[in-house]
């Protein structure tokens, strides 16, 4: 291990973007042998001799929290909050920590990238299949932008940015016809319904809905999987989302429902408005920032982690004290892979946040950096090894 003074010099030059490629490699190799306590000590030694330490603003504090979460994931132990006067320096150095993590990944785990590339494993994208009332199937990712179908007085249009838009051309349209849009694993799509409600469908999900709500007293749709809803306000016609185990009724609001059949619970997270969640004779009315969770033990409400619930819709994975089995189910749906656990399954809880458009190798590396779980990619199968 290098002398502390030499490391301080390398560390400071790295922060100031003054290192050569060889010096960066030497620094990474040295830091790879450090414990969290040793890294904290080195950081403090550099900080206390750094000039112009000033109080941070709110944005800098937010960036600090992001880097603290990254450090926590890497070391997988609690990280004590640093003193406020260190925030400014750490905010400017946040990218440096992330770059170090990326560099260590490319130096030590090139094999995962090669395995993923050989299997051509790609992040999900906008793709779905639309099934019309007459049974015709339209593969939306292959269909040209523009009009894809017309049913009665409703025009169905595919836009260039991954949306399917229903437009009612006639003032009064009465129809019992149902359409279904289904996203495969590795797919997502947005649907704008005839009442202008907007629905984001996650991978491995489906939504069944009427071509028109004009003749109905209620706006009933059926969901399998996960979707985020922004429902148009209509006090006369309640909007109802039916899943296999529950029913959610709203007048106009924003909420997320996770109802995958391979998950142990169905969760409804409310961001705006008010919803009534029913399961048999039991029901709960939840407010913004709350979540209703249905399990075999019944329906319960709690304070929601809205960032975690909305992560998929906002373009990233967010793991918050989550078991590896749950994490791998998300990865399997988004990257369209099979997952197999070999030997003992890790009992650890994992924290982390990463773009879901990163390569699968980068996501797996973030998890394996904890040294509690490891991975091997064989074609479209991911082996999980403790």
SS3 29: helix
Mean pLDDT of the chain: 80
* pLDDT value of residue 296: 93
- Under a CB-based contact definition with an 8 Å cutoff, are residues 353 and 318 in contact? yes
More confident residue, 169 or 368: 368
Q: Which residue has the higher pLDDT, 238 or 66?
A: 238
Specify the 3-state DSSP secondary structure of 351.
strand
List the Cα angle 20/26/30 in 5-degree steps.
Answer: 145
How much is the pLDDT for 118? Answer: 84
- Reply yes or no on whether the pLDDT at 341 is more than 60: yes
Cα 332 off chain centre by: 13
Determine contact, residues 307/69, Cβ cutoff 8 Å: no
The pLDDT of residue 239: 96
What mean pLDDT is predicted for residues 285-301? 95
Please state the length of the chain: 386
pLDDT above 70: residue 334: yes
- Phi (first) and psi of residue 334, to 5 degrees: -75, -40
Q: Please state the pTM of the whole predicted model.
A: 0.73
For tokens 């003193």, what's the residue? 83
- What percentage of the chain carries pLDDT values higher than 90? 53
pLDDT band at 107 (very low <50, low <70, confident <90, very high): very low
Assess whether pLDDT exceeds 50 at residue 328.
Answer: yes
304 compared with 321, residue with greater pLDDT: 304
Mean pLDDT to the nearest integer, 107-136:
84
Q: What is the mean pLDDT of residues 115-126?
A: 89
Residues 225, 209 contacting (CB under 8 angstroms): no
* Tokens 């939306």 -> residue: 140
Q: What is the predicted pLDDT for the residue at 99?
A: 38
φ/ψ region of 192 (left if φ > 0, alpha if ψ in -120 to 50, else beta) reads beta
Domains delineated in the chain:
4-108 (no CATH), 114-122+316-385 (3.55.50.30), 125-309 (2.60.120.1440)
pLDDT at 352: 85
For residues 367 and 327, what is the distance between their CA atoms, to the nearest angstrom? 10
Q: Is the pLDDT of residue 359 over 60?
A: yes
Which is more confidently placed, 265 or 96? 265
Instruction: Please report the pLDDT score of residue 173 as a whole number.
Output: 57
Please check the confidence at residue 186 and state whether its pLDDT lies above 60.
yes
- Over the stretch 217-237, which tens digit does the pLDDT of each residue have? 899 999 999 999 999 999 889
Q: What is the mean pLDDT of residues 107-128?
A: 81
Say if CB 327 and CB 335 are below 8 A apart. Answer: no
Model confidence pLDDT, tens digit, residues 25-80 = 666 666 655 555 566 566 555 544 444 433 444 444 444 444 444 444 444 433 33
Please tell me the predicted confidence (pLDDT) of residue 160: 86
Is pLDDT above 60 for 104?
A: no
How deeply is 361 buried, as exposed, middle or buried, from its count of CB atoms within 10 A (0-12, 13-18, 19+)? buried
Q: In which band, very low, low, confident or very high, does the pLDDT at 84 lie, cut at 50, 70 and 90?
A: very low
């Amino acid at each position: 291990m290098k002398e502390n003074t030499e490391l301080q010099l390398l560390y400071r030059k790295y922060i100031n973007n003054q290192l050569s490629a060889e010096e960066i490699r030497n620094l990474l190799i040295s830091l790879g042998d450090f414990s969290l306590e040793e890294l904290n000590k080195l950081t403090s030694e550099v900080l206390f001799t750094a000039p112009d330490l000033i109080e941070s603003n709110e944005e800098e504090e937010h960036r600090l929290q992001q880097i603290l979460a990254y450090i926590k994931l890497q070391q997988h132990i609690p990280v004590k909050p640093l003193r406020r006067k260190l925030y400014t320096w750490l905010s400017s150095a946040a990218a440096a920590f992330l770059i170090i993590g990326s560099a260590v990944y490319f130096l030590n785990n090139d094999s995962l990238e090669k395995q993923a590339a050989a299997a051509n494993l790609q992040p999900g994208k906008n793709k779905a299949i639309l099934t019309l009332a007459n049974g015709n199937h339209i593969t939306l990712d292959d269909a040209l932008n523009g009009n894809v179908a017309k049913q009665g007085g409703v025009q169905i249009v595919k836009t260039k940015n991954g949306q399917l838009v229903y437009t009612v051309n006639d003032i009064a349209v009465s129809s019992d016809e149902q359409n279904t849009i289904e996203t495969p694993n590795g797919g997502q799509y947005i649907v704008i319904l005839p009442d202008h409600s907007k629905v984001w469908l996650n991978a491995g999900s489906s939504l069944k809905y009427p071509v028109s709500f004009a003749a109905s007293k209620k706006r009933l749709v059926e969901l399998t999987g996960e979707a985020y809803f922004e429902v148009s306000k209509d006090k006369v016609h309640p909007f109802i989302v039916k899943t296999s185990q529950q029913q959610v009724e709203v007048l106009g609001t924003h909420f997320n429902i996770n109802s995958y059949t391979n998950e142990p619970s169905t969760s409804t997270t409310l961001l705006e408005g008010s919803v009534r969640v029913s399961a048999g004779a039991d029901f709960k009315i939840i407010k913004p920032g709350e979540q209703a969770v249905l399990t075999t033990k019944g329906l319960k409400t709690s304070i929601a982690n809205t960032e975690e619930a909305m992560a998929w819709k906002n373009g990233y994975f967010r793991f918050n004290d989550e078991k590896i089995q749950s994490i791998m189910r998300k990865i399997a749906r988004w990257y369209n892979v099979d997952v197999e656990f070999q030997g003992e399954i890790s009992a650890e809880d994992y924290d982390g946040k990463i773009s879901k458009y990163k390569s699968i190798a980068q996501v797996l590396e973030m998890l394996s950096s904890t040294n509690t779980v490891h991975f091997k990619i064989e074609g479209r199968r991911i082996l999980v090894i403790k």
